Amino acid sequence: MIKIEKLKKIFRTEEIETSALNNVNIHINKGEFVAIMGPSGCGKSTLLNVIGLLDNPTEGKYLFDGEEVGQLKERNRTKLRKGNIGFVFQSFNLIDELNVFENVELPLIYLKYKAKERKEMVEEVLHRMKIGHRRKHFPQQLSGGQQQRVAIARAVIANPKLILADEPTGNLDSKNGQEVMKLLTELNREGTTIVMVTHSMRDADYAHRVVNLFDGQVITEEMKKEIGDIALM
Ligand SMILES: Nc1ncnc2c1ncn2[C@@H]1O[C@H](COP(=O)(O)OP(=O)(O)OP(=O)(O)O)[C@@H](O)[C@H]1O
């Protein structure tokens, strides 16, 4: 599903040049759950942003489902992202002015689903994330765990092939963190590919494979589990 070869990302400002990714090679199969680990500043979020088509690499190859996407224009990246990729962030990134239902509904509005269909889909996913009873609440009225469940509902509402999670349990206590990891594992078992950045060994244990980055390079990869009966691509 994802083939990244000799990928480089250099951030240039007037005074300095930072090489955030330096010759990264990563292949991720459909159905895999991959954790990316490494010390602060090693390039994890930069890599996730490139994989998630939020940013272009400076050099190198990025094939998403066989299509070269590394140098797409912003407009085309956005088009490809919608419906294909769902994001979950450490800080939840919900919209404070919208209630739970409206936050989760938003991607479906962008994708031009009709109101009736949207209602059915949102109700179903809220029920699944065990947050249906809070549909009228605003993000500030929810606990961290509840906010992250809403964020996951929003990430999966359009049935993305890929979920990218950047430290999804970073702001949660261990009970809520575990709940979030269980939800991600369940989605992965149903076929969604997951790439997750984490500092937590415990969270990385849920993954099939751990990729360790250091100074913008992949230094080791560790297989933890088999994908099971999900077909590889
Ligand atoms: N927009 C930017 N402009 C300039 N430099 C940047 C930018 N984004 C990231 N960097 C630099 O690139 C390097 C990698 O950053 P990145 O955020 O990917 O690291 P990380 O591994 O996710 O760190 P952390 O675990 O602390 O979140 C760092 O040296 C950072 O300062």
CA of 77 to the centre of ligand 1 (A): 21
Give residues with Cβ within 8 angstroms of 137, minimum separation 6: 99, 100
Expressed as residue numbers, the domain containing 127 is 29-58+71-223
Tell me: the pLDDT tens digits for 170-189? 999 999 999 999 999 999 99
Distance in angstroms (rounded) separating the CA atoms of residues 108 and 115? 9
Does residue 14 form part of some domain?
no
**Segment 118-145 mean pLDDT:** 95
Q: What is the mean pLDDT of the chain?
A: 94
66: in domain: no
Split into its structural domains, the chain has a count of: 1
Dihedral of the CA atoms 30, 160, 165, 221 (nearest 10)? 10
Q: Is the CB of 145 under 6 A from ligand 1?
A: no
Residue 19 domain-assigned (yes or no): no
Indicate yes or no: pTM above 0.90. Answer: yes
CA distances from 224 to 33, 61, 205 (A): 10, 27, 7
Question: Which amino acid residue places its CA nearest to atom 13 of ligand 1?
Answer: 20
Residue nearest atom 14 of ligand 1, based on CA coordinates: 43
User: What band does 82 get if pLDDT is binned at 50, 70 and 90?
Assistant: confident
What's the pLDDT score for residue 233?
A: 41
